[in-house]
Amino acid sequence: MSSPAEPQPEQVELVAVVDQGQAGIRLDQFLMDRTRHLGITRSKIQAWIKSGFATVDGRPCLRPGRRLATGERLELGKIPPQAALQPENRTLRILYYDDDLVVLNKPAGLVVHPAPGLDHGTLVHRLLHHFPELSQLEGARPGIVHRLDKDTTGLMAVALTEAARLRLTASFAERGVKKVYLALVHGRPDSSGLVDAPIGRHPTSKTRMAVVAKGGKPAHSEYTLLWTAPGDRFSLLCVRILSGRTHQIRVHMQHIDHPLLGDPTYCPAAHASWQSAIPGLNMVLQRPMLHAWKLGLPHPRSEEPMDFQVAPPKDMFQTILVGSRTTQRVGLIGMPGCGKSLLLADLAGQGIPVWSADRAVAELYRPGQNGWELLRRRYGERFTPMPTEPVDKKALLQAMRDIPGLRREVEAMIHPLVKHHLHAFWKTNYAARVTVAEVPLLLESGWTSGFDLIVGLACDPHRRRDWLRAHRGWDDNLLADMESWQWPEEKKLQSCGLVINNPGTREGLAQVALRLSRVLRWLRNQDVRRRLAHVQALVIPAPQREYHDSTAR
């Protein structure tokens, strides 16, 4: 393996005065005209200016585009020798290479080329090891014809010869290259759109770009919505850029109020406030979620069209899966006396957040609570005879049995309060993987839209009625009335997504609770697999080659 050629020191030292015919010329153009005989490229002249080697009237000028005035004195100091680029034996994921170019899959965290203060650990250093012929190319960016941000992953093309570099550079300049990205953005944009907004330096921050009214370069980005997470938290976009400005997608997505997930530079804190509430999300979301997905370009020698596509990295899928997690909301129903409350207690013992409609009603019926106040205002002291005592539920129950229409009137007042109580429970347990709510009249009240699964607890009718007689003192008339207010047991259970049986013993019911929690976990895992398969079908070509160590150089 050959070593990179040692670069020679630049022997440039220039003093010149702008004459009348040169007024208005750019600084970099002026210096390039004066050094043309040395074969120095414009990009190198611009790099020298930005590094402070040029002065105008004795003061350093760092702007290559500065317009000169007649009589100004320019000096270009002697440029110190450039340190040799040292090859580094680090892995590259190569999709294609020949004598003219290489197409690779860049990982996150890798800077493309050296810069002031960064003289090792870049993609260029790795390329020099695997493709030593690059050492024959000029400059600190041999073969680089386009760039990706440090934390952007995906497809890059690199020229291996000067002729290939010039042809590829021309293809990029003439928009003969197709560049398509995948981006995870906050919220839910329109199904498609075109962002036509010029980009320039941020007016107050030198390290940022921005959409600017004056002085920016034209920039166009087309996007298509591929998928949106539950609750419109974030979306997966396919973005094609028709120009290649610095940070273009990041700036344009911020401009339309849908900044990239994980982007510390362009994502306002208000957009990311929900992330901390999702367990584990901030652990996987460590970079701006942007991936160079597709690349189409003409071959630099044959001009034959070439198209490449590479699947997004693991952290992008992890962000999608973790970020789109929702609480599995389970509703528990059953006939009176079937053991719902005991089962709920067993589930709570496993650490599952649980909620009971009966307990919520008991709270609402306490003195001064909303349910107590509504009943007192509507019916006076009939069911709230003492201002310091809760609602007289026995008197209320008897009145609902005796007075036609009273039950529905009371339910119309109390059920919205109970439902609000339930929503508060869900909000409090936003980060839980599963919650279980016992709602005896869930089906009858029509609340099923808020639940992911309705579980019905079946029990031998004779056993549960005997239990109600023995432990609650219900007679046959009360039993008949209470059951008449609900759907028949057969209809209830047929409407459930899952039916479990109470075996009739406390120990047996505890085992049922354990099995139920395992089934719920299995259902959540199945949901994750379905979601992953759906997203993979959108972004991974079939079949997609799997990369192993043997594919890396």
Which amino acids are annotated catalytic? 149
Residue pair 202/210 in contact by the 8 Å Cβ criterion: yes
Report the C-alpha gap between 187 and 172 in whole angstroms: 32
Report the C-alpha gap between 34 and 45 in whole angstroms: 11
Helix (H) or strand (E) holding 73: strand 73-76
The residue ranges of DSSP E strands in 268-358, in sequence order, are 290-298, 305-309, 328-333, 354-356
Peptide bond just before 80 cis, omega within 30 deg: no
Q: Helix or strand or coil: residue 163?
A: helix
Report the C-alpha gap between 274 and 520 in whole angstroms: 25
Structure tokens given for 461: 């009718």
The residues, any chain, with a CB within 8 Å of residue 204's CB and separated by 6 or more, are: none
Helix (H) or strand (E) holding 358: helix 357-364
Helix (H) or strand (E) holding 437: strand 434-438
Q: Helix or strand or coil: residue 223?
A: strand
Rg of the chain (C-alpha set): 35
Residue pair 220/241 in contact by the 8 Å Cβ criterion: yes
Q: Helix or strand or coil: residue 30?
A: helix
Q: Helix or strand or coil: residue 15?
A: strand
Q: Which of 197, 185, 201, 115 is nearest to 150 (CA)?
A: 115
- Where does 59-105 have alpha helices with state H? none
- Where does 198-297 have alpha helices with state H? 248-255, 281-284
Structure tokens given for 267: 């994502």
CA distances from 104 to 4, 39, 112, 143, 422 (A): 22, 31, 12, 13, 52
Residue-by-residue DSSP string for 441-492: THHHHT-GGG-SEEEEEE--HHHHHHHHHHHH---HHHHHHHHHTS--HHHH
